[in-house]
Amino acid sequence: MRTDALDRISEELKKSAPTIPLEVSERFDRTLEELTEGKRTFGRRKRWRPVAASVATAFVLVFFLLPNVSADVSYAMQELPVIGDIIRITSVYKKQTEDAYHFEDIQAPELEGSGQMQEPVESINKDVDALVSRVMTEYENGIADMPDAHTGLMIDYEILTNNEHWFTMKLMIYHAAGSSVVEYHFYHIDKDTGQLVTLSDLFAPDFDYVSVFSEEVKEQMHQRMAENENQYYWIYGEEEYGWGLDRIDPDQSFYFDADGNLVLVFGKYEVAPGYMGTPEFTISREIFNEKMVLP
């Protein structure tokens, strides 16, 4: 690893300090110190094991933790060798404007991948570009129609997972114009196959995950409402006008949490009043683990 690149990453980490877990920052600083010391004495056999451990630690930090910290850290990492073999953020389209009636804060990423990652990454970039263009056009048309109305647009993203087997990115769109509209878009890549993945790709054909997950979500809805009077969900057959959740979409939005559980995400107003935001329901891995074909 080039020391100038490591120094640059260290500087970007300091700038991003408020969003970085303390233990990650401290571990990275210790690793840099050990790597520097190890470089000076690398030829001595007694230094080999500490240096090897430091390199392993640096590998984990650089390839699996730091890309998720910030775009600036990701940019700094591009100077490191072999980083091109891993999905990375190459640029972020940024736009910030504000006046007495309107505000706009946009951060839209562009990804890059090599080898079998290239095709799915290009598909994600095209979809993100189309979404951002559509939303920005709608926002600008709204301003033209009602220049004195208070409106706002925010677009942001988060890398939820980026390890050796799996990649998940979440794109968040908030459009405020009287009431607010929230859109979440999730993108998943199985790195072992180089394929974009939706919920329907995860399970064996003989597993009726739609029915199983639908009943689990409705059970959680009932439990939440019983425990908190401020929680309210629409369940089909229990609403006067016949709306509400009956069955989840076969390709319902989802992501995996840190424990490997499946988290199903619903849009605003999809299964609950607007004040409930975008509800999420965790499906324990024990429910579906034996029927998974990915990841």
pLDDT tens track for 218-252: 999 999 999 999 999 999 988 776 789 999 999 99
Side-by-side strand order, sheet with 253-256 = 253-256, 262-265, 280-283
Tokens 């993945």 locate to 197
Q: What is the pLDDT of residue 11?
A: 62
| Res. 141: pLDDT tops 60 | yes
CB 261 within 8 A of CB 284: yes
Mean pLDDT of 101-118: 93
Q: What is the pLDDT of residue 294?
A: 79
Please tell me the distance from the alpha carbon of residue 117 to that of residue 110, in angstroms, as a whole number: 14
How confident is the prediction for the chain on average, in pLDDT? 80
CA nearest neighbour of 68 among 26, 109, 115, 27 = 109
Say what angle helices 22-40 and 48-60 make with each other, to 10 degrees.
140
pTM of the model: 0.72
| Res. 66: pLDDT tops 80 | no
Q: What is the pLDDT of residue 29?
A: 54
CB 249 within 8 A of CB 213: no
CB 80 within 8 A of CB 61: no
Please tell me the distance from the alpha carbon of residue 10 to that of residue 256, in angstroms, as a whole number: 29
